[in-house]
Amino acid sequence: MSFKAEYIWIDGTEPTAKLRSKTKILADGAELPVWGFDGSSTNQAEGHASDRVLKPVASFPDPIRGGDDVLVMCEVFEIDGTPHVSNTRAALREVAERYAAQESLFGIEQEYTFFQGSRPLGFPDGGFPAPQGGYYCGVGADEIFGRPVVEKHLENCLAAGLGISGINAEVMPGQWEFQVGPLSPLEVSDHLWVARWLLYRTAEDFGISATLDPKPAKGDWNGAGAHTNFSTKAMRENYAAIIEAAESLGRDEKPLEHIKNYGVGVESRLTGAHETAPWNEYSYGVSNRGASVRIPWQVEVDQKGYIEDRRPNANMDPYVVTRLMVDTCGSALEKAGLV
Ligand code: ADP
Ligand code: MN
Ligand code: MN
Ligand code: MN
């Protein structure tokens, strides 16, 4: 007997990478081998010498095929064994290792928008739905679009053993969110990429597409973000560490360095309206959903917990965002003796 392994990887498409996958049939009980693909078809190689290497880094039961079949998250390498330039996970491995003693945890809120044809799901042809106000966490066919897909996606994520922790309908019709975590930097990122793959794959069977476009509808409609909640062991024990982490993200060149790596089009979403802070002004505050970084009210009450970086776009790369946060906050906490 044999089983099917769906090898999933991140391609080299600019400015925002896409997910790719293909199937390998393996003999029962076989280990997941290193595999290859044609990088010239994924923006990861020129035509000549286009072999690229897929190295399995995490695997999950495949909820779509079932049985012994698996989903396999991969890193992309050159044939000489060096990480391909599109392989952002390799850099996270190093930083996560360097700050491992701080026990960083992340919970990421992935917002996304369903499309049918060229219109967000729920937008009538040639017109617009009623203005925002009733859709967020709404119920009823006049407010909710795509629930069967969302429910199926949630089931699939749970069956795959992903650390999904919740879902909700968002502010714009056809817009939804799922949360992954809290998990370690590498785990939350691997799980988020596989959850994204499952989102596209699940919606495919309904004839619906999903997009991580940060501003899928122009005008007075909310954008789509990926709020990134973060804590270290010290932050989960001590409020001074919470404040130091929030401060460190605002120091020197850090705000711009982070913003530049928080997803293409971040300026179009972080306008200062629609529950965002302007992209070029760093701020943090307790319970403030108009700040770059929010300290949840419960965290102030408890004097410990986590912070929420509200800036990352829906189309961000979690390997990049978690690396920057672990690096910036981790080194500041170390310097301040808050570890
Ligand atoms: P919001 O009120 O911003 O919509 P959500 O409930 O959608 O909040 O998301 C909060 C996220 O914070 C969840 O993904 C959760 O896993 C995460 N979280 C909770 N505690 C911690 C922690 N100590 N460290 C990191 N993330 C955390
Ligand atoms: Mn949320
Ligand atoms: Mn949200
Ligand atoms: Mn949030």
In whole angstroms, give the CA distance from residue 182 to residue 53: 30
Q: Is the pLDDT of residue 159 over 80?
A: yes
- Ligand closest to CA 108: 1
Q: DSSP states of 284-314 as a string? A: EEET-TTSSEEE-HHHHHHT-S-EEE---BT
Q: How far is the CA of 82 from the centre of ligand 2 (A)?
A: 37
Atom of ligand 1 nearest to the CA of 168: 7
Please say whether the beta carbons of 115 and 199 come within 8 A: no
Q: Is the pLDDT of residue 133 over 90?
A: no
Q: Where are the domains of the chain?
A: 2-86, 96-335
Task: Note the pLDDT tens digit of each residue in 210-234.
Answer: 999 999 998 889 999 999 999 999 9
Lowest mean pLDDT among 122-126, 165-169, 176-180, 237-241: 122-126
How would you class 261 by CB atoms within 10 Å of its CB: exposed for 0-12, middle for 13-18, buried for 19 or more? middle
In whole angstroms, give the CA distance from residue 273 to residue 71: 39
In whole angstroms, give the CA distance from residue 306 to residue 234: 10
CATH architecture of 96-335: 2-Layer Sandwich (3.30)
Residue with the nearest Cα to atom 26 of ligand 1?
Answer: 107
Mean pLDDT of the chain: 96
In whole angstroms, give the CA distance from residue 275 to residue 290: 5
Q: Give the closest residue to 275 by CA, choosing from 286, 287, 265, 290.
A: 290
What are the tokens at 46?
């020129």
Q: How far is the CA of 76 from the centre of ligand 3 (A)?
A: 31
- State mean pLDDT over 179-191: 98
Q: Give the closest residue to 313 by CA, choosing from 224, 211, 193, 199.
A: 224
What pLDDT does residue 233 have? Answer: 98
What pLDDT does residue 299 have? Answer: 98
Task: Note the pLDDT tens digit of each residue in 21-59.
Answer: 999 999 999 999 999 999 999 999 987 889 999 999 999
Lowest mean pLDDT among 117-121, 192-196, 301-305: 117-121
Domain 2-86 has CATH 3.10.20.70: yes
The pTM (predicted TM-score) of the whole model is 0.97
What percent of the chain clears pLDDT 70, i.e. is strictly above it? 100
Q: Mutation test of ligand 1: which of 171, 302, 306 has the most ligand atoms closer than 8 Å to its C-beta?
A: 306
Residue with the nearest Cα to atom 13 of ligand 1?
Answer: 107
What pLDDT does residue 49 have? Answer: 86
Residue with the nearest Cα to atom 18 of ligand 1?
Answer: 107
- State mean pLDDT over 310-335: 98
Q: Is the pLDDT of residue 298 over 80?
A: yes
Q: Mutation test of ligand 1: which of 171, 179, 311 has the most ligand atoms closer than 8 Å to its C-beta?
A: 179
Lowest mean pLDDT among 72-81, 171-180, 265-274, 287-296: 265-274
In whole angstroms, give the CA distance from residue 173 to residue 165: 22
Measured from the CB, is residue 233 less than 6 Å from ligand 1? Answer: no
What are the tokens at 259?
């913003």
Q: DSSP states of 200-224 as a string? A: HHHHHTTT-EEE--SS-S-SSS---
In whole angstroms, give the CA distance from residue 74 to residue 55: 5
Residue type, 145: F
Measured from the CB, is residue 179 less than 6 Å from ligand 1? Answer: yes
What are the tokens at 213?
């476009």
